Structure 1
Amino acid sequence: MVSTNYDAGTSENVIPTPVKIVVAGGFGAGKTTMVGSVSEISPLSTEELMTQASDGVDDITGVERKTTTTVALDFGRITISPHTVLYLFGTPGQDRFWYMWDELARGAIGTVVLVDTRRLDSSFAAIDFFERRKIPFIVAVNCFDGADQYDEEEIRRALVIAPHVPVLFFDARQRESSKLALIKLVRYAMSKLPKPAGMVSSAG
């Protein structure tokens, strides 16, 4: 049964609009954790144990204790209003799986790019990917325990983030924190949509 995250008085006859969201970022940034924490269904995960075969292939600097990795995608769903259901697609983070990103991003209204302050350089590729394709995105700094703390301006300067791109700090393990990040993305993506014809002011 779908979890209701909205007022109980809402009409049961409303058919919500499905909205595709991508959760991206570098290896070990918390994409699988975010999808799992916020999904109202049991999330589909394609995590596999890391083996010796990945030695020298995947850069685990800063995340040496990570033992699993996403090899295809993570998938989850969350209802954020009577009118909107988000379908979440988490990308694999390693360089060798980036060829899948184009397919996962197709049809998405926007992306949450997760940033790990222990490995800021791992975020450049994701930011560049969505900037080049003109897909709206927000930057969500995942606050790992014990990681160095930076303020918003420091993050913007380090990652060369444009002033209009929202930056927030959150905890991918917490459902409410992840949900608020998704809502912020939806609002930002909707603000980037072209205004329908006829909404232009006719004052004069």
Structure 2
Amino acid sequence: MASKEKDPKDPVEDKDALDALEAESKEFDKDAEIDRILKAFRLDAYAVLDLNPGVPESDIKATYRKKSLLIHPDKTKNPQAPEAFDRLKKAQTELMDEKHRERLDEAIADARMLLIRENKWTVDSPELKTEEFAQQWRVKTREVLIDNEMRRKRQAKAQMQEEGREQRRADQEVEDRKRKRQHEQDWESTRDQRIDSWRQFQKSKSGDDKKKKKKLKPIG
């Protein structure tokens, strides 16, 4: 009995092939996004999330949700997915923190003003609308953020050192008070012994005086 040949135009095989291509395409997208996140400047949360500064919170939430679902470690075999996912989550948390986002926005604005001053431009200069300026702005932003981070670490170190000195002073004061209390306790615990010794001394002295009086010869 002759075997049935497969129809080259079999829709089932075509669907399987398309599904395989789609799955491969999705994995490629996941790998590309993971690679992008890991290469993004981690001090710039906007860069990690691939967002422009000043976007509303709704965009931050929507972008994070979309990207986190794409690269979630449970949905890809990429070994770098956990690290990329952690960085994405950290960036989202920083941007949702009002104070942190304010500091980041200030650093980005400072970088822009520094470029304008260095090149003696004005805020209306046409150069500010070019792609070259946008690239220079990103580079300058990195420099400002790195400088701010180094300054923050120096301040934190100095604060820790000062707190260490304060702690040592506090420990010393506690130790001094402890020694003082112990001295007072020791002094009080030997009170009766000191009194007895004093009485014995006084008694002994009184006996000596009496002996001396007996030895005195009468005058004349």
TM-score of the two chains, using structure 1 as the length reference: 0.27
- Structure ranking higher on relative contact order (CA contacts 8 Å, 6+ apart): 1
Higher helix share: 2
Structure number with bigger Rg: 2
Indicate the structure with greater strand content. Answer: 1
